[in-house]
Structure 1
Amino acid sequence: MIGFYGDIVFETSDKRILNFNNFKRNISSRWATHEVIGKKPASEFLGANLDTISFTIHLSGQYGIKPQEEMDRWLIKCRAGTVETLVIGNKALGMDKWKVLSVSQMWNTILNKGEVFSSDVDIELEEYVEVL
């Protein structure tokens, strides 16, 4: 097992391949700029910003995956506002959970009756902090 996001398990085996590539994590901070007459503006550190993560999942029927079902799982999580723990290896990423900000589907290969055989899904997650 590579990791998981809620009930979606990233794995590679001889029967099933569901993994990601182009994994990118963005970490930033928040700053305020205060105008000062006759001087340069003063900067004030406000705190950490919410981290974001993006990655692409290649889904292919030849690797034991049903691409349409997997795409629908991400779509449902995005539309429902689901927040889940993201684990890579045996380590949870971030301070708490992650929400699905966006899901972009690319239907690469469509079979005769409209079945999606191959697709790519771009996922964007944002850190979710429940307690203020």
Structure 2
Amino acid sequence: MSIGSLGDVVFEASSEKVKTLRDMQRQGSARFATHEIIGKKPLREFLGPGLEKITFQIQLSASLGIEPASEMKTLRELRDKGEALEFVLGGSAVGEELWTIEDLSEDWSRINGQGTIIFANVSVTLQEYPRDTAGTAGGSGTDTTSGSEEGDGT
């Protein structure tokens, strides 16, 4: 059963595979400009919302039908390409925007006698990526505001 996904990375729990996330935290802030005024306290001007961040942990275990090395490689590739991804949990998008993998931290907890990683914990940090800029970063290639592919002349 699918719990959710980050792009093509599927979080699931079934009799054959268990790949779930835990300890999810979401953080956001507001943006303000400060205007200095001689002889008075500075004034703050609201500029708009800041970009949100999400952090979570993924446990990858060979005993639960997962190949930790392969899964970590996929996550590293998505991070290194800067791909803007849809993040879905429970069938609903998390937020209105896309997300990029900003940071990964891998803890290779168990390695067998052949050097194969059999258990790992991965810390993932996502950064919000506004849809109106999709296609201008290192990877998505789709301008979701016009519905056309980048570079097709429309």
Question: Under TM normalisation by the shorter chain, which class is it?
Answer: over 0.9
How many pairs are equivalent? Answer: 132
Percent identity, please. Answer: 37
User: Where does residue 27 of structure 2 map in the other structure?
Assistant: 26
Report the Cα distance in structure 1 between the residues aligned to 2:66 and 2:51, rounded to whole angstroms: 32
Report the Cα distance in structure 2 between the residues aligned to 1:13 and 1:131, rounded to whole angstroms: 36
CA deviations on 1:82-119 (whole Å, 9 max, x unpaired) are 11100011110122211110111110001111100000
Q: Please state how far the C-alpha of 1:81 moved relative to its aligned partner.
A: 1.1
Moved over 3 A (4+): none
User: Where does residue 108 of structure 1 map in the other structure?
Assistant: 109
Report the Cα distance in structure 2 between the residues aligned to 1:92 and 1:41, rounded to whole angstroms: 39
Unaligned runs of 5+ in 1: none
Q: Please state how far the C-alpha of 1:13 moved relative to its aligned partner.
A: 1.1
Larger relative contact order, structure 1 or 2 (CA cutoff 8 Å, min sep 6): 1
What RMSD in Å do the two structures reach over aligned CA positions? 1.0
1:60-71 equivalent positions in 2, closer than 5 A = 60-71=61-72
Task: With the length of structure 1 as denominator, give the TM-score of the two structures.
Answer: 0.96
Q: Please state how far the C-alpha of 1:62 moved relative to its aligned partner.
A: 0.7
Q: Which amino acid aligns with 2:123?
A: D
Secondary structure of 1:83's match?
Answer: coil
Secondary structure of 1:2's match?
Answer: strand
Which region of structure 1 is more displaced relative to structure 2, 89-98 or 65-74? Answer: 89-98
Contact 1:51 1:94 in 2 (8 A): no
Q: Please state how far the C-alpha of 1:130 moved relative to its aligned partner.
A: 4.2
1:1-132 equivalent positions in 2, closer than 5 A = 1-131=2-132
Task: With the length of structure 2 as denominator, give the TM-score of the two structures.
Answer: 0.83
Secondary structure of 1:72's match?
Answer: helix
Structure with the higher strand share, 1 or 2? 1
